[in-house]
């Protein structure tokens, strides 16, 4: 068994208990034997095909999954780095790739199965031929009635119904850029996105079922339009799909001349076809808004050719989608997971994709497994939050139903090993390969995952970078961090699925994702532009990554996640405080507690009254749970030469951990002074530290990285 | 998280809409609305804080309803609070205690 090597190079003997815990956490699960021979990626040669010496042409393999009107002449254009252009010269249509070509080859194959939330309602099977007809007719409506053309933006605010992919594909057919807002968001949120995208048309639905109730959704359209108008954006037309034809599910009246029922307009376009617009590969396909760390949500602009090829390729190799599969992703199409892995990826591969309207546990915890059994679902995809919820409400439900998943994907957050194992043994019945994926709205598709037939699963880890993705972990200074140490995970290279920019704000794209680790702002060489993911991570010796959490950190106190920025902001409302930095301290009872370091403005002296004032202010502004265990008043904070407070240094002091290299600080001498002051006081108060585990040390070292 | 956790903001927004629907005073309604805006427009890292504040709001509403003898309002508020708490625990915005 490996011996642990401490930071000073000394060897420590590992106890049997530690070995048992270590192996339980780190055990590998091979793919089921029956899975491997049928897998799309069953030959290790694929890893060589996507090795770095084959970049960027390796991605031709993904692009070749699509039908192009015109082949590209340049795989990757870096002339305007980091605004990458993929498959330059290529032209295609996303709607054609997802619908027409499959309707021609297999018209009767089911494209979409709609499962209404009311369990008494019939499932609706839409063949590729049906889908083609519906997309054509709606595209004709959008073009001729709504006056939409290529390059226009349209906002969709729709729930999980088949009319949503029909609308998206109709937009794609015309080259219209769609921007779908999650159906559960308020009208105000929708309005803000209408304004930012400059949409003049809103497409919505009257209502939908959620948790057993018909929800009035149309009411939000009026709120959205009012909110957009306040920001100077007028909406000319609201197209309203009706959940049940002939019935109106809303209390809100339709506005004459502005609001129109789609089902009343569609007969005018019955049987019409619209030629799919041949779009440049770089043409925006859609906008997807995502929260930032500061400021308004930003519209991530995704391309047509690069994005579609990437989601098709990752769907094929990582979820192992074959055309004859029945694939069910339980996410909402309002998020990037739904765009990539309910609509565009699966339909590009010509498979059957399931759209379920409602909540997973309606009417009970067995509902997902009944759906899986009824439809013969072979591939399942959901989030750790949903897995935890289903495990909570019905841990024994899966075994009651006769279904068989060959692969299961998880996405959205790191999944703890205990929950992973329930997912594997109960939901997957020990027979499915799990792909635990890591990626972001900005990426278009997976960045980290195991190839299900070729790389063993490891609970709690997303695995290595996916094909053609070359991650690296940097410290604050841009130096590469060795395996076992935490830092900021970046992607060294561009990839086809990466977003093309922030809509209307190129500076935000540069500053948020590239400026931090850029080596030369004038360089056209992609090597000089690592993409900053804004996530912390550790790479294990086997090359697998464990994602630790966002670099703007959150302190988890007795189950309450407290943002450090909120705590510091509260402290800064005290007039005497100049600077504030909140850090986590390991606590065996509460998990973590908060300590806050403050420096005072000139003319003020430290005192117990001042400490109490800071503490009480935080409690008042945020709540009792945020009250810091200690307030440390220091003469100065350890800072980088650019003036940023080095939170990991003071977090290490509070935790009696190694502060690491401080030679690059602007004021390294302050560290020893703080350490002596804080640790002497803690010891005097009986706060005896215990040795941190490796994971805790990694967490503290990664804390506060920006 | 940098990871695609935007859906947590969405689910929380829906639940906060439910909280807003069961408030019984204008001030509470405004507070619920503010929290919903924070969930929709703010950073993902703030969601835990929003959840804690929302639970505190529901707690106050429940006590107020009990004191007034409004059992119907209490039941609706308690149900909204329970759904919010369950989501908070399952999404790791809260720890199960």
- Alpha-carbon distance of A363 to A355, in angstroms, equals 17
Give the C-alpha separation, A693 to A84, whole Å.
42
Cα separation, A583 vs B7, whole angstroms: 27
Is a pLDDT exceeding 50 seen at residue A11?
no
Q: pLDDT tens for residues A209-247?
A: 999 999 999 999 999 999 999 999 999 999 999 999 889
Q: Which two tokens stand for residue A48?
A: 């060589």
Average pLDDT, chain A: 90
Nearest beta carbon to residue B2 from set A440, A554, A560: A440
ipTM of the predicted structure? 0.90
The more confident residue out of A668 and A303 is: A303
Q: Which residues pair with A88 in a beta bridge?
A: A74
A662 versus A180: the higher-pLDDT residue is: A180
Which residues on B lie below 8 Å from A533 (Cβ)? Answer: 2
Residue A497: C-alpha distances to residues A303, A439, A545, B1, B7 (Å): 8, 11, 20, 20, 20
CB A41 within 8 A of CB A454: yes
Lowest mean pLDDT among A76-80, A598-602, B17-21: A598-602
In the 8-state DSSP scheme, what is residue A57? G
Interface probe with A: pick from B45, B57, B79, most Cβ of A within 10 Å: B45
| Dist CA A321 CA A314 (whole Å) | 9
**pLDDT tens per residue, range A385-409:** 999 999 999 999 999 999 999 999 9
Chain B positions in Cβ-Cβ contact with residue A293 (cut-off 8 Å):
43, 45
pLDDT at A415: 78
- Give the C-alpha separation, A663 to A668, whole Å: 6
pLDDT (tens digit per residue) in A611-656? 999 998 888 776 777 789 999 999 889 987 777 788 889 988 998 8
DSSP state letters, A597-649:
EEEEPTT----HHHHHHHHHHHHHHT-GGG--SEEEE-S---B-TTS-B-HHH
pLDDT for the residue numbered A551: 47
pLDDT at residue A550 in the model: 53
Mean pLDDT of the B67-82 span: 96
Whole-angstrom Cα distance, residue A407 to residue A41?
Answer: 13
Residue contact B14–A210, C-beta within 8 A: yes
> What integer pLDDT is reported at residue A662 of this predicted model?
84
* Residue B16: other Cβ atoms inside 10 A: 28
Q: Which residues of B touch A582 (CB under 8 A)?
A: none
Please check whether residue B56 is in contact with residue B50, taking contact to mean a CB–CB distance below 8 angstroms: no
Q: Is the pLDDT of residue A706 over 70?
A: no
**B50 contacts in A (CB within 8 Å)?**
none
In B1-97, at which residue ranges do the beta strands (DSSP E only) sit? none
A511's CB contacts (< 8 A; 6+ apart) are none
For residue A56, is the peptide bond before it cis, meaning its omega torsion is within 30 degrees of 0? yes
Task: For residues A169 and A96, give the distance between their C-alpha atoms in angstroms, rounded to a whole number.
Answer: 9
The answer to whether the beta carbons of residues A158 and A167 sit under 8 Å apart is yes
- Encode burial over A534-550: b for 16+ CB neighbours within 10 A, e otherwise: bbbbbbeeeebbbbbbb
For residue A274, give the DSSP letter.
-
Rg (CA), chain B: 13
What's the pLDDT score for residue A341?
98
Q: In chain A, pLDDT over 90 holds for what percent of residues?
A: 71
Residue range A136-155: mean pLDDT, rounded: 98
Beta bridge partners of A91: A70, A280
pLDDT band of A602, cuts 50, 70, 90: confident
Q: pLDDT band for A36, please (50, 70, 90 cuts).
A: very high
Residues 6 or more apart whose CB falls under 8 angstroms from that of B5 comprise: A412, A413, B44
Tens digits of residue pLDDT in A174-193: 999 999 999 999 999 999 99
Q: CA-to-CA distance for B16 and A219, rounded, in angstroms? A: 17
Per-residue pLDDT tens over the stretch A523-557: 999 999 999 998 888 898 899 998 875 544 556 55
Ordered alpha helix ranges (H), A14-127: 16-26, 45-49, 60-63, 94-95, 101-105
Answer whether B48 sits within 8 Å of A188, measured CB to CB.
no
A382: closest CA among A364, A361, A400, A401?
A361
Structure tokens at A210: 């959620």
Residue B9, chain A, CB below 8 Å: the answer is yes
Quote the CA–CA distance of A103 and A96 in Å, as a whole number: 10
Residue B34 in contact with partner chain A when CB distance is under 8 A = no
Higher pLDDT, B47 or A182: A182
Report the 3 state secondary structure along A328-378. Answer: EECCCCCCHHHHHHHHHHHHHCCCEEEEECCCCCCCCCCHHHHHHHHHCCC
Write out pLDDT tens, residues A423-477: 999 999 999 999 999 999 999 999 999 999 999 998 888 899 999 999 999 988 8
pLDDT at A1 over 60: no
How remote is the C-alpha of A559 from its chain's centroid?
Answer: 22
pLDDT over 90 at A505, yes or no = yes
Per cent of chain B over pLDDT 70 is 93
What pLDDT, on a 0 to 100 scale, did the predictor assign at position A20? Answer: 37
* The residue to which tokens 């995952």 are assigned: A449
Q: Report in angstroms the alpha-carbon separations of A461 from A107, A353, A449, A540, B92.
A: 40, 27, 8, 9, 17
The per-residue pLDDT for A9 is 35
- What are the two backbone dihedrals, phi and then psi, of residue A464, each rounded to the nearest 5 degrees? -85, 180
CA distance A561 to A557: 6
Which stretch of DSSP H or E encloses residue A112?
strand A110-115
Name which of A294, A439, A554 is nearest B48 (Cβ-Cβ).
A554
Percent over 70 (pLDDT), chain A: 90
Which of B11, B49, B97 is closest, CB to CB, to A558? B97
The mean pLDDT of A373-390, rounded to a whole number, is 95
Beta-strand relationship, A177-182 and A153-158:
parallel
A292: left (phi over 0), alpha (psi -120 to 50) or beta: beta
Contact (CB<8Å) A188/B37: yes
Of B2, B52, B56, the CB nearest to A550: B2
pLDDT digits (tens, 9 = 90+) for A341-353: 999 999 999 999 9
Is it the case that residue B2 has pLDDT exceeding 90? Answer: no
Q: Which has the closest alpha carbon to A198: A502, A505, A503?
A: A503
Residue with tokens 């089911």: A110
Q: What is the pLDDT of residue A182?
A: 96
Instruction: Inform me whether the pLDDT recorded for A110 exceeds 70.
Output: yes
The SS3 assignment for A593 reads strand
User: Residues A79-109: pLDDT tens digits?
Assistant: 999 999 999 999 999 999 999 999 999 999 9
Cis amide leading into A608 (omega within 30)? no
For residues A641 and A653, is the Cβ–Cβ distance under 8 A? no
CB contact under 8 A, B10 and A440: no
């Amino acid at each position: 068994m490996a011996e642990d090597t401490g930071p000073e190079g000394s060897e420590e003997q590992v106890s049997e208990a530690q070995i048992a815990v270590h192996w339980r956490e780190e055990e590998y699960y091979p793919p089921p034997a029956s899975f491997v021979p049928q897998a799309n990626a069953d030959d290790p040669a694929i890893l060589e095909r996507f090795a770095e010496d084959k970049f960027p042409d390796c991605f031709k393999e993904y692009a070749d999954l699509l039908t192009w009107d015109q082949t590209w002449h340049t795989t990757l254009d870096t002339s305007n780095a980091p605004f990458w252009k993929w498959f330059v010269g290529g032209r295609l249509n996303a709607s054609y790739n997802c619908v027409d070509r499959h309707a021609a080859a297999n018209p009767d194959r089911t494209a979409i199965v709609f499962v209404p939330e009311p369990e008494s309602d019939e499932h609706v099977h839409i063949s590729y031929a049906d889908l083609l007809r519906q997309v054509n007719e709606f595209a004709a409506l959008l073009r001729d009635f709504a006056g939409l053309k290529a390059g226009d933006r349209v906002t969709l605010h729709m729930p999980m119904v088949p009319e949503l992919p029909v609308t998206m594909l109709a937009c794609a057919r015309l080259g219209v850029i769609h921007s779908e807002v999650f159906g559960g968001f308020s009208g105000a949120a929708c309005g803000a996105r209408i304004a930012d995208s400059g949409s003049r048309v809103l497409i919505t639905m009257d209502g939908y079922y959620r948790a057993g109730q018909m929800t009035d959704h149309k009411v939000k359209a009026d709120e959205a339009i009012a909110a957009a108008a306040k920001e100077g954006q007028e909406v000319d037309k609201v197209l309203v799909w009706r959940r049940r034809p002939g019935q109106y599910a809303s209390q809100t009246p339709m506005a004459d001349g502005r609001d129109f029922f789609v089902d009343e307009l569609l007969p005018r376009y019955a049987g019409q076809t619209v030629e799919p617009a041949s779009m440049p590969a770089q043409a925006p396909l859609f906008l997807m808004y995502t929260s930032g760390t500061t400021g308004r949500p930003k519209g991530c602009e995704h391309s047509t050719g690069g994005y579609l090829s990437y989601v098709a390729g990752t769907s094929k190799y990582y979820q192992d989608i074959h055309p004859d599969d029945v694939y069910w992703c339980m996410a909402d199409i309002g998020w990037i997971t739904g765009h990539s892995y309910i609509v565009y990826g699966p339909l590009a591969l010509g498979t059957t994709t399931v759209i379920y309207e409602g909540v997973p546990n309606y009417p009970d915890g067995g509902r997902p497994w009944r759906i899986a059994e009824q439809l013969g679902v072979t591939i399942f995809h959901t989030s750790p939050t949903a897995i935890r919820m289903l495990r909570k409400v019905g841990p024994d439900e899966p075994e009651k139903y006769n279904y068989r998943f060959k692969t299961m994907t998880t996405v959205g957050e790191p999944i703890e090993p205990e929950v992973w194992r329930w997912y594997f043994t109960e939901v997957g019945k020990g027979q499915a390969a799990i792909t635990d994926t890591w990626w972001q709205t900005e990426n278009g598709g997976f960045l980290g995952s195991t190839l299900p037939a070729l790389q063993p699963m490891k609970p709690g880890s997303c695995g290595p970078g996916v094909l053609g993705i070359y991650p690296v972990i940097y410290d604050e200074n841009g130096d590469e961090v060795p395996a076992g140490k935490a830092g900021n995970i970046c992607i060294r290279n561009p990839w086809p699925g990466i977003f093309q920019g922030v809509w209307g704000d190129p500076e935000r794209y540069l500053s948020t994702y590239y400026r931090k680790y850029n080596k030369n702002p004038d360089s056209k060489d992609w090597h000089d532009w690592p993409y900053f993911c804004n996530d912390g991570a550790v790479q294990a010796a086997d090359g697998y990554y464990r994602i630790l959490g966002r670099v703007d950190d959150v302190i988890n106190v007795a189950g309450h996640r407290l943002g450090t920025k909120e705590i510091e902001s509260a402290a800064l409302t005290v007039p005497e405080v100049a600077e504030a930095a909140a850090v986590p301290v390991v606590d065996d009872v509460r998990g973590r507690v908060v300590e806050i370091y403050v420096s005072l403005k000139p003319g003020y002296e430290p005192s117990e009254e001042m400490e109490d004032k800071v503490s009480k202010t935080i409690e008042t502004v945020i709540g009792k749970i945020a009250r810091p265990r200690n307030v440390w008043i220091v003469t100065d904070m350890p800072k980088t030469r650019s003036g940023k407070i080095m939170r990991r240094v003071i977090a290490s002091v509070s935790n009696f951990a190694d502060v690491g290299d401080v030679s690059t600080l602007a004021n390294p001498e302050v560290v020893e002074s703080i350490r002596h002051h804080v640790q002497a006081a803690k010891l005097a108060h009986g706060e005896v530290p215990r040795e941190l585990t490796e994971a805790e040390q990694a967490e503290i070292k990664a804390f506060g990285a920006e | 998280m940098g990871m695609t956790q935007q859906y947590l903001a969405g689910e929380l927004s829906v639940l906060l809409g439910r909280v807003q629907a069961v408030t019984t005073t204008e001030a509470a309604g405004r507070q619920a609305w503010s929290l919903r805006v924070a969930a929709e427009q703010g950073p993902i890292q703030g969601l835990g804080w929003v959840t804690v504040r929302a639970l505190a709001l529901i707690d106050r509403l429940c006590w107020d309803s009990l004191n007034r003898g409004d059992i119907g309002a209490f039941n609706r508020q308690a149900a909204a609070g329970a759904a919010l708490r369950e989501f908070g625990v399952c999404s790791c915005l809260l720890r199960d205690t």
